[in-house]
């Protein structure tokens, strides 16, 4: 599969900041901004897949509640699950 990494990063950044709910915009935007430039190609694809999951299931996964879907055991999901969001003052 041939794709442009910078174009994928831009798509991921946009999708992480414009989810539909302010809370998830902030959480996923902060998460993406922290890690986007440290991720390899496979991680970027996993992050894109994570962003395709609905906000309710993503939030439940993040806080440790039951979800309607199974989350794969991969680097991105582990990073997201352990991400500590702090609000800007």
pLDDT score for 2: 56
pLDDT score for 89: 46
Distance CA 43, CA 27 (A): 18
CB 75 within 8 A of CB 43: yes
pLDDT tens by residue, the chain, 89 residues: 556 999 999 999 999 999 989 999 999 999 999 999 999 999 999 999 999 999 999 999 999 999 999 999 999 999 999 999 987 64
Nearest-10 Cα torsion for 63, 69, 75, 76? -70
pLDDT score for 20: 84
Q: What is the pTM of this model?
A: 0.90
Domains assigned to the chain: 5-82 (1.10.150.250)
pLDDT score for 84: 95
């Amino acid at each position: 599969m041939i794709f442009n990494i910078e174009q994928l990063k831009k798509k991921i950044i946009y999708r992480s900041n414009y989810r539909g709910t302010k809370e998830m915009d902030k959480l996923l935007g902060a998460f993406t901004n922290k890690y986007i430039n440290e991720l390899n190609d496979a991680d970027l694809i996993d992050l894109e897949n994570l962003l395709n999951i609905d906000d309710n299931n993503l939030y439940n996964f993040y806080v440790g509640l039951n979800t309607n879907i199974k989350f794969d055991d991969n680097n991105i999901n582990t990073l997201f699950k352990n991400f500590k969001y702090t609000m800007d003052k």
